[in-house]
Amino acid sequence: MIVVTGATGQLGRLVVQDLLTRVPADQVIAAVRSPEKAGDLAERGVQVREADYDRPDTLKTAFEGADKVLLISGSEVGRRIPQHQAVIDAATDAGVSFLAYTSVLHADTSTLPVAPEHKVTEEAIKASGLTYSLLRNGWYNENYIPAAQQAAATGAIISSTHDGRVAAASRADYAAAAAVVLTEDGHADSVYELTGDTAWSMDDLAADVTALAATPVTHQDLSTEAHTAALTEAGLPETVVQMLVSIDSSIADGQLARTTGDLARLIGRPTTALRTTLADALGN
């Protein structure tokens, strides 16, 4: 039995869909906070069980009879460590044989603001004694859909990434990798640095939007201070501004530029190009 936590989330649904091409539906358990949102999965024969990271008793029930668990990282920054620890503890208590975890690229050394909670979670998984696979996901192409849509309307993309590059891939690519390690042998105690095949710059993003939207789009590269001021002036909350500027700083430092080939090797095909993802989103 394979449990996917967060199975009604954007990544979780894709993982379940991929698993259903690999194993019978009754071997897949969708562990979700709100079972009523997983009716479509239940109709396909997937077992749906309530699982709330903040309620360990639900995790215990959700993991009964499970052989493998995919822990999809929580979305609440600042809450992830206790939430993830609850999942690790429940998996250990349930006698789970294998735990896969969606971490972040180079979690142990990254300066990305999201990295520290992932690093602590990885350490907790290793300390648990569970056999594991750490899926260190890079950035998603989909992260840039809102910027692309806004750029198509305004003619500009602003950032403070300078000449930094992003080796992103599609969410479906990362989901396929998770399904592979959950259903194939040879991934015990593995660490995968998952990236797209090509690293692109914000100038490349602007060029893609220009081509797809048939309207000129430029990249306005700002200083950190000017970028902070522009986002603040746009009305974004201070915490969001700090997060976005910090991410751009990490990109400028090359934290997301490295292409490892791990993702393409796992899924057995090239990763999805940025323009392909943007074409779908922009209606082309």
| Reported confidence tier of residue 284, pLDDT bands at 50, 70, 90 | low
DSSP assignment of 175-221 equals HHHHHHHHHSSS-TTEEEEE--SS-EEHHHHHHHHHHHHTS--EEEE
The predicted pLDDT at position 72 comes to 97
pLDDT tier, 98 (very low <50, low <70, confident <90, very high otherwise): very high
Stretch among 76-80, 96-100, 229-233, 271-275 having the lowest mean pLDDT? 76-80
pLDDT digits (tens, 9 = 90+) for 26-66: 999 999 999 999 999 999 999 999 999 999 999 999 999 99
DSSP 9: S
pTM of the shown model: 0.95
Round the average pLDDT of the chain to a whole number and report it: 96
165-166 and 190-194 strand pairing: unpaired
Asked if 141 and 205 touch (Cβ cutoff 8 Å), the reply is: no
For residue 71, the cross-strand partners are 101
- Residues 121, 84 contacting (CB under 8 angstroms): yes
137 vs 140: CA distance, rounded Å:
8
**Which domains does the chain carry?**
2-137 (3.40.50.720), 142-166+197-257+272-281 (3.90.25.10)
What is the mean predicted confidence (pLDDT) over 216-230?
95
d(CA 100, CA 262): 16
Question: What is the per-residue pLDDT across 108-159, written as a single tens digit (0 to 9) for each?
Answer: 999 888 999 999 999 999 999 999 999 999 999 999 999 999 999 999 999 9
Residue 233's identity, in one-letter code, is E
Q: Is the pLDDT of residue 76 over 90?
A: no
